[in-house]
A and B are shown apart, each in its own frame.
Chain A
Amino acid sequence: MAIGELLSILLLLAGAVFFFAGTLGLLRFPDIYTRLHALTKADNVGLGLMVAGLALQADSMAAVGKLTVIWLLVLLAGASVAHLIAAAARQRGIVPWKR
């Protein structure tokens, strides 16, 4: 039990770090494409780690399943939206940033 709890805390903290990194990237990166990159890290990995950490504490398999479905849905939405926005931005002629 204690090990499970510790692992859960570690996973949740790691997830929070990714969310923080995503926000930081959103604020600091120079153009829309790089910001998309930062955003998807928070979406995919950050939420994934959080879901893993919470699943260790969940009381039933149904709850674990629901958590997993939520994560998969966010993955789907995140990937599609990132693609759509990036494609639209390129079409509109926003030039990718170069050093």
Chain B
Amino acid sequence: MEVFYFALALFLLLNLIVGMWRVLRGPTAADRMLTAQLFGTTSVAVLLLLAQAMEQPALRDIALLFALLAAVTAVAFVRRAWPQAEREDGNR
């Protein structure tokens, strides 16, 4: 069973690496941000699998933190990085 968990975690990690292509290519800033969001969810899944595989229930707390904070970065992006660009776009 432990091997299965690890294999699954590895599979998710590889998924994440493949998804990195979208961060590198874009094209828009929102696409990159979106991919970061997917990375967050994937990390939650990997952590839950590792919690089971390594028999460390404390790892679920880390997954809990990721789940709680998943939105903060994206909110910063929507509220700070994008509106700023938009406002000054209008001034030009």
Contacts and interface: CB of A to CB of B under 8 A. Distances in A.
Q: Are A and B close enough to touch in the complex, i.e. CB under 8 Å?
A: yes
Interface of A: 5, 9, 12-13, 15-16, 19-20, 22-23, 26-27, 32, 35-36, 39, 42-43, 46-47, 50-51, 54, 57, 63, 66-67, 69-71, 73-74, 76-78, 80-81, 84-85, 88-89, 91-92, 94
Contacts of B67: 69-71, 73-74, 77
B48 A70 contact: yes
B19 A26 contact: yes
A84 to B, nearest CB: 5
A74 B22 contact: no
A32 B48 CA distance: 29
B60 A84 contact: no
Main secondary structure of the interface of B (DSSP, over half): helix
A69 B64 contact: yes
A71 B78 CA distance: 23
Contacts of A91: 86
Complex A-B, nearest 7 residue pairs according to Cβ-Cβ distance, in ascending order: A73-B67, A77-B70, A77-B71, A81-B74, A84-B78, A23-B15, A70-B67
Nearest to B83: A88
Given A50-B49, A57-B52, 18 more contacts: A16-B11, A19-B45, A23-B18, A26-B38, A32-B30, A32-B34, A39-B38, A46-B45, A70-B60, A70-B63, A73-B67, A73-B68, A74-B70, A77-B40, A81-B37, A84-B78, A85-B74, A92-B82
